[in-house]
Chains A and B, each alone.
Chain A
Amino acid sequence: MNTKTRVLVSASSHQDTLKDALAALIEKGDIDAVFALGETKQKGRYCYSLITDPSLVRKTLPFHPVMPVQGARALSDMTITRSFDRPVAALLRPCEIRAFVENVKQSQGSLENIFIISCTCPGVIPASELHREDRSDVLANRTENIRKACRVCTEFIPGQQADMTVLIASDEPNDSTVIYLNTERSVEIASKLESPSLKTAPPLPELTSGILESRSKSLKDMIREIPAPEDGLQSLVSLFSACIGCRGCREACPLCSCILCDYETARTQHSPELIRTESKRKGSVRVPSGTIQFQLGRLMHISPVCTACGQCSDVCPADIPVADIFIRAAYLVQQSLDYTPGRDTDDTPPMATYIEKELLDITD
């Protein structure tokens, strides 16, 4: 069995290595564009861009620890009606790849002609921290400041869709940049690059077992803190009491792709008459109604496919730990459905699969 994997090694930083390589690939015509992060005209604000000019590729910030928009959401937006007809390199975090794979399964995007470069992911900084004056300190001490969703993420090694994986998060610090070549086309692409040298290296899990161990522990701790079904509906009511109904969690979620959400339709919205009747019956009701209905509904729709990216918590203006709830629910739901979202485009989504005898342990 082959225990060594082919890698590219470069003496410069991973950001410089990637920028040089990608700009060169555009110049040579091997790829047409790069999908990558960059800083906007405003300091501390970032965005994804689709870049065709090699000189602008050199201004990007590959794998900068931020996630302004979930990458899958942007890729889905571009490829939902027609896939790329020219090769494009996309720099994506593992949770973004997984979400995009789920998008593809739900006919919300296409992987065709997308060459994926990913990394062993150290996590990203919450958006609110980046708007602070002292953001450079925040960025410098990144491991302490990453999102809670990132701190409990155990899926930080990208799956088989990643053509290349940059070793960023690892147990031991690296002096050089190591890029794993996971696919035949990545080996072909790598052969076109001049400077970095081809070597072999141990498989990624061996270099990151320490991170996996500490993240697994954090995940277990977090799951214990979240309200459980036995805490009753009231615990959810309390948790979401401050919800202002901005639906930012839904809009930012890469998996919530409906054009019109079920909870914005006349079918699910409570009629004025019902609200007034309930007010008379109970003496007092919360208006607008449907806060918990929306959150539970989204939890039901998304938990089988949630990739635990944490965007929902990041955008919440009421500081509700939405992602914690989703991560816990997703963990349990995906376990009972024996489903790993984003693993393979050929895995059929559980909600689209009929199995006559299943889940007998949770039926009455």
Chain B
Amino acid sequence: MKTILTDFLRKALTSGSVTSVMVPSRGPESSFPWTLVTDVSALSQAEPVPPVMSIQGAKALASFTQSETEGKLLAVMRPCEARAAVELSKLKQVSLQNIIFLTMDCPGAVPLMEYRRDNDMETDITTPDTLRPLCRQCTEFTSTGDLCLAMHGGLNSVLPLTPEGQILLDSLGIKPESDTSAWKEWTASLRSEREAISVESTKSLKDAYSGLEGLIEVFSGCISCRSCRTVCPICYCRLCFIDMKDRRSPASEYLERSRSSGSARLMPDTLLFHIGRMAHMSLSCVSCGMCEDACPSDIPVGRLVSMVSAGTTAVFDYRAGSDPEDPLPLNTFRMEELHEYED
């Protein structure tokens, strides 16, 4: 997978069909930082599908594409990263103009901390039980973006998914495999396998933490480090609502809060923060699992947000990241909707 993708990038860059490439590269200390590459020789360090997701690709992309890029940029990303980029374009944080997304049959990623503590972990991951919990239940593991490297069902071919993808393949003189039936069978079968895991995981989460009491319990270990928010590709606000100065209370109010139930937990407003974050980003959540990877308290925050997201997106019949033209539900006014949620 690494060789095919890197060769593809090399070819695209050398031919001049694209002027830059965004790809993870091998850094010091077993790290895989994202790199924006213009010199083909730098691709010798490329690791297009590293064992870990150190920074969500869409977040890396948003750092330099708020304005339109000059010349074509080819971004190699996991499907969830490309989908987050689509959501960020709707939120005006990424300009999709001139960006071509190349994804792959994603093998998933291993938990960051486990990898950091055990560098011997296979780079070519990944048996299902070493994957991050959200990767294990991911059903959107392929066929995203403009091009997708299909590696299963006897295929070994970059397939075009959009006209832009087709144009790039044509300019490189690459003929994609035409018989994709076995690969499609593989995707369908893995998808149904993953769906079953997802149902099971959602059920066990709901059983373990139902209702407000359950939420209080599951977030009881939260230390308010806000890493879930910072690493989330969708949480892009420079200053989050929870950190606003006017939300501060005088000490006497903390005493009041404490008197009402005998004790007040600190830092305050843990649930307000997590529920607020879910309210703000769950419609655009791509279930990438970055929040869960970054949590130093080992809270299944990614699985929880992803579960909530499945519910909220169903209400609006919306699929995060699937079509750049689909408007964000919260930006769309409809006179008649959601009557079933009225009193």
Render A252-294 as a binary contact track against B, CB cut-off 8 A, 1 for contact.
1000000110001100001011011001101111111101000
Render A70-102 as a binary contact track against B, CB cut-off 8 A, 1 for contact.
000110011111111110100000000000000
Give A53 to B264 CA distance when docked, in angstroms.
10
Question: Do the beta carbons of A69 and B254 come within 8 Å of each other?
Answer: no
Q: Which chain A residues (13-49) contact chain B, with CB distance < 8 Å? A: 32-33, 35, 40-42, 44-49
Q: Nearest Cβ in chain A — how far from B51, in angstroms?
A: 13
> From A84, which residue of chain B is reached at the shortest CB distance?
B251
Given A251-B226, A284-B39, A286-B34, residue A50 in contact with residue B66 (CB < 8 A): no
Render B107-147 as a binary contact track against A, CB cut-off 8 A, 1 for contact.
00000110011000000000000000000000000000000
Q: Is B313 an interface residue (CB 8 A)?
A: no
Interface 9-mer from B21-29, B150-158, B183-191: B21-29
A-B contact pairs, 8 of them (CB 8 A): A40-B220, A77-B268, A78-B249, A81-B249, A245-B231, A280-B20, A283-B37, A288-B63
Given A41-B217, A85-B252, A286-B33, residue A238 in contact with residue B60 (CB < 8 A): no
Interface 9-mer from A221-229, A311-319, A324-332: A311-319
Given A41-B217, A272-B64, residue A81 in contact with residue B248 (CB < 8 A): yes
Residues of B within 8 A of A316 (CB): 296
Contact residues of B: prevailing secondary structure: mixed
Given A241-B33, A283-B37, A288-B63, residue A80 in contact with residue B267 (CB < 8 A): no
Q: Which chain B residues (250-278) contact chain A, with CB distance < 8 Å? A: 250-252, 254-255, 257-259, 262-268
Question: Do the beta carbons of B258 and A33 come within 8 Å of each other?
Answer: yes
Given A238-B28, A279-B37, A319-B113, residue A287 in contact with residue B22 (CB < 8 A): yes
Question: Do the beta carbons of A50 and B226 come within 8 Å of each other?
Answer: no
Give A251 to B226 CA distance when docked, in angstroms.
7
Question: Do the beta carbons of A80 and B248 come within 8 Å of each other?
Answer: yes
User: Which of A44, A84, A242, A319 has the most C-beta atoms of chain B within 10 angstroms of its own C-beta?
Assistant: A242
> From A83, which residue of chain B is reached at the shortest CB distance?
B251
Q: Is A209 an interface residue (CB 8 A)?
A: no
Q: Which B residues have a C-beta under 8 Å from some C-beta of A?
A: 20, 22, 25, 27-31, 33-39, 41-42, 45, 54-55, 59-61, 63-67, 69-70, 112-113, 116-117, 216-218, 220-221, 223-227, 230-231, 238-239, 243, 245, 248-252, 254-255, 257-259, 262-268, 293-298
> From B95, which residue of chain A is reached at the shortest CB distance?
A272
Question: Do the beta carbons of A238 and B29 come within 8 Å of each other?
Answer: yes
Knowing that A74-B266, A264-B238, A291-B33 touch, tell me 17 more A-B residue pairs with CB under 8 angstroms: A45-B297, A48-B265, A49-B258, A49-B265, A51-B263, A73-B267, A80-B248, A81-B248, A238-B28, A248-B296, A259-B243, A272-B63, A272-B67, A273-B67, A280-B38, A284-B39, A287-B33
Residues of A within 8 A of B60 (CB): 287-288
Size bracket, chain A contacts:
35 or more
Question: Do the beta carbons of A252 and B251 come within 8 Å of each other?
Answer: no
Q: Is A68 an interface residue (CB 8 A)?
A: yes
Q: Is A52 an interface residue (CB 8 A)?
A: yes
Question: Do the beta carbons of B29 and A242 come within 8 Å of each other?
Answer: yes
Question: Do the beta carbons of A128 and B262 come within 8 Å of each other?
Answer: no
> From A317, which residue of chain B is reached at the shortest CB distance?
B294
Q: 4 shortest A-B CB distances, which residue pairs?
A: A283-B39, A53-B262, A45-B221, A82-B250
Give A79 to B268 CA distance when docked, in angstroms.
13
Q: Is A204 an interface residue (CB 8 A)?
A: no
> From A245, which residue of chain B is reached at the shortest CB distance?
B55
Given A127-B297, A272-B64, A285-B35, residue A82 in contact with residue B225 (CB < 8 A): no
Contacting residue for A78 out of B29, B35, B266, CB 8 A: B266
Q: Is A141 an interface residue (CB 8 A)?
A: no
Q: Nearest Cβ in chain A — how far from B119, in angstroms?
A: 11
Give A46 to B28 CA distance when docked, in angstroms.
35
Contacting residue for A49 out of B29, B112, B255, B264, CB 8 A: B264
Contacting residue for B42 out of A48, A86, A259, A283, CB 8 A: A283
Question: Do the beta carbons of A259 and B245 come within 8 Å of each other?
Answer: yes
Q: Nearest Cβ in chain A — how far from B234, in angstroms?
A: 15
Residues of A within 8 A of B264 (CB): 49-51
Give A248 to B30 CA distance when docked, in angstroms.
20
> From B269, which residue of chain A is reached at the shortest CB distance?
A77
Given A33-B255, A264-B238, residue A47 in contact with residue B220 (CB < 8 A): yes
Give A283 to B39 CA distance when docked, in angstroms.
4
Give A197 to B73 CA distance when docked, in angstroms.
76
> From A318, which residue of chain B is reached at the shortest CB distance?
B116
Question: Do the beta carbons of B33 and A51 come within 8 Å of each other?
Answer: no
User: Which of A83, A245, A285 has the most C-beta atoms of chain B within 10 angstroms of its own C-beta?
Assistant: A245
Q: Nearest Cβ in chain A — how far from B82, in angstroms?
A: 16
Given A50-B264, A252-B223, residue A318 in contact with residue B239 (CB < 8 A): no
Q: Nearest Cβ in chain B — how far from A78, in angstroms?
A: 5
Residues of A within 8 A of B227 (CB): 246-248, 251, 315, 317
Residues of A within 8 A of B216 (CB): 41
Question: Do the beta carbons of A131 and B297 come within 8 Å of each other?
Answer: yes
Residues of A within 8 A of B296 (CB): 127-128, 248, 314-317
Given A49-B266, A81-B248, A317-B295, residue A69 in contact with residue B223 (CB < 8 A): yes
Q: Is A233 an interface residue (CB 8 A)?
A: no
Q: Is A296 an interface residue (CB 8 A)?
A: no
Residues of B within 8 A of A174 (CB): none
Q: Is A237 an interface residue (CB 8 A)?
A: yes
Contacting residue for A81 out of B45, B239, B250, CB 8 A: B250
Question: Do the beta carbons of A251 and B225 come within 8 Å of each other?
Answer: yes
